[in-house]
Structure 1
Amino acid sequence: MRNLKITLLLFTIVNLTFSQVPAISAEVSGNGSPILFLPGFTNPGSIWDQTVTHLQGEQQHHLISYAGFDGNAPIAMPWYDTIKKELIDYIKENELMNVTIIGHSMGGNLAIDIAAALPDTIKNLILVDSIPCMRELMMPGVPESHIQYETPYNKQMLAMNDDQFRQTAMMMAQNMTNKKDKVDTLLNWILKADRETYVYGYTDLLKLDLRRVLDKVTAKTLILGAAFPTIEMAKTNYEKQYATLSDKTIEMIPDSKHFIMFDQPELFYEKVNAFLINE
């Protein structure tokens, strides 16, 4: 009985500690129409700094970072759902209206989720190489119920020593951009991440299937897709997965991998500004 009480006490302490840690942090600048900038997995909000400097017009910029990444303290699982809830609360508490969300990868997933939950608040979406159901591309036919935190793969990732994890992270970084000078940047973001957040947070992303909420999104949407592995194959995937999203434009960016803003920055800024000016 005494051991049970100690276990319950420790469980309560851990939960209270995690519950006091914010799931998001925001850096706000500028005045005008609000734009929420959501980075991808392991990336800091500062990934959008160059985008902000190239935007035309007057906006209020909200650069978001996530718990467990970029030196931010980790939170308990489920990680993605907690971030989503805090982002929705952030928009409501700050009384933001006619919001534009620019989201890369996982940030695009969050953008869809938020736009589905707040259709009267979210005016525009710009989704950068973000797919509604990553699992369908990576693990075709595998149901959500089969994606669990405690798996042999996740245990292996958590057990890796620093050198082993660095090698894995380097391969991932090299596959996400054509710019060799950006590989170390991506690598360092991965290495800086809390390991459990990296492993279990990615599990959360594999569970997602946002195709089921696309019909609730009313925001005007620009989807920018990387032309990888081929522009034809990538475009087919986008058209299929976003089939039920009503007000959308899909544009494929040539000679780019996952980080379009690194591989084709000028074309990226051009597409974003054209969309925002004409909306």
Structure 2
Amino acid sequence: MKSILIAIAVVFQVATALGQTPSIQVEKSGKGTPVIYLPGFGCPGRIWKETAAFLGKGYSAHFVTYAGFDGTAAIDTPWYSAVRDGLVDYIKSQKLKKVHLVGHSMGGNLATDLAALLPDRVTKVVLVDAIPCMREVMMPGVKAQQIQYISPYNKQLLEMQAEPFKKMAAGMSANMTQSKEKADSITSWMLKADRKVYVFGYTDLLKLDLRPVLPSVKAPVLILAAGFPNREVIEKNYIKQYEALSNKEILIADKSRHFIMFDEFEWMARNIQQYFSK
């Protein structure tokens, strides 16, 4: 029997100018309702393949990998807006309608942006451990204009040698999942990333605040949040950050760290499956 997921690799040319580096690469499989899978920062689109397989037939899966990650060619700053605009162009050029979006972390930010920009095309949204303004949580009181691309910290990251960068990446990865094996995978993706995209792309995310666009999101939104280490604090943050989003449901994965697809996969996948079937 043929596999449900018969992959067809497609590189989408975002820019109209011939030969310009695309901001996204998309791998498509299956037939049915289009589901665009958006990974977190630094991660490849294939991180979502197990989820797509769990959902089964009836869906056309579009696995997105961003420029500068997983061996794809890098693009210049501003990086986040170029990726977002590339996704808008992709949805329109492929004539996709009744689109479902599934995004983890930064992928959730992109899903929020797309739902706000394309309310006539996006019908369902799943946000996996994604908040509209991570700066507010990580750096309370700091304004976007205070965060600069050219800074001592960014300079340090750009010039950091391979071994100390690997050590830093491994330390970050260990805090993102309960699984040592999966943490090693996250580290390998971080090391594979184009260094400038990694540094300046993350600066884009620190400057990002999508709370003003939330009222423009018309599709129902399922928010799956990681409850580790403190469910009460995390739930309060999510309720506050998504206050302006009218049609939403927030569920908490109590034992999961940031990568819910690694720590509580079946819980996450079943909730997405139930939500899509409504």
Q: TM-score range by the shorter chain?
A: over 0.9
User: 1: CA distance between counterparts of 2:111 and 2:270?
Assistant: 21
User: 2: CA distance between counterparts of 1:272 and 1:58?
Assistant: 14
Contact 2:100 2:125 (C-alpha < 8 Å) held by counterparts: yes
Q: Which amino acid aligns with 1:37?
A: Y
Q: Which amino acid aligns with 1:228?
A: F
Which residue is equivalent to 2:267? 267
Which residue is equivalent to 1:51? 51
Which residue is equivalent to 1:169? 169
User: 1: CA distance between counterparts of 2:88 and 2:229?
Assistant: 34
* C-alpha distance after superposition, 1:28-65 (max 9, x if no partner): 11000000000000000000111011004400000000
Identity %: 50
Which residue is equivalent to 1:109? 109
* C-alpha distance after superposition, 1:185-243 (max 9, x if no partner): 01100000000100000000001100010000001100000002211111100000000
User: 1: CA distance between counterparts of 2:228 and 2:267?
Assistant: 16
* C-alpha distance after superposition, 1:82-127 (max 9, x if no partner): 0000100000011100100000000000000111111111100000
User: 2: CA distance between counterparts of 1:198 and 1:18?
Assistant: 26
Q: Which amino acid aligns with 2:34?
A: P
Contact 1:18 1:74 (C-alpha < 8 Å) held by counterparts: no
Question: Which structure has the larger Rg?
Answer: 1
Which residue is equivalent to 1:194? 194
Contact 1:18 1:76 (C-alpha < 8 Å) held by counterparts: no
Q: What is the 5 A alignment of 1:32-111? A: 32-111=32-111
Contact 2:31 2:57 (C-alpha < 8 Å) held by counterparts: no
Q: What is the 5 A alignment of 1:1-279? A: 20-278=20-278
* C-alpha distance after superposition, 1:120-163 (max 9, x if no partner): 11100000000000000011011111111000100011111001
Contact 1:56 1:273 (C-alpha < 8 Å) held by counterparts: no
> Which segments of structure 1 move beyond 6 Å, counting only runs of 4 or more?
none
- List runs of 5+ in structure 1 lacking aligned partners: 1-16
Q: Which has the higher helix share?
A: 1
Q: Give the alignment's TM-score, normalised by structure 1.
A: 0.92
Q: Which amino acid aligns with 2:149?
A: Y
Tell me how large the CA RMSD over aligned residues is.
1.4
User: 1: CA distance between counterparts of 2:62 and 2:129?
Assistant: 20
Q: Which amino acid aligns with 2:131?
A: I
Partner SS, residue 225 of structure 2? strand
User: 2: CA distance between counterparts of 1:237 and 1:120?
Assistant: 29
Partner SS, residue 272 of structure 1? helix
Q: Which amino acid aligns with 2:116?
A: A
Partner SS, residue 170 of structure 2? helix
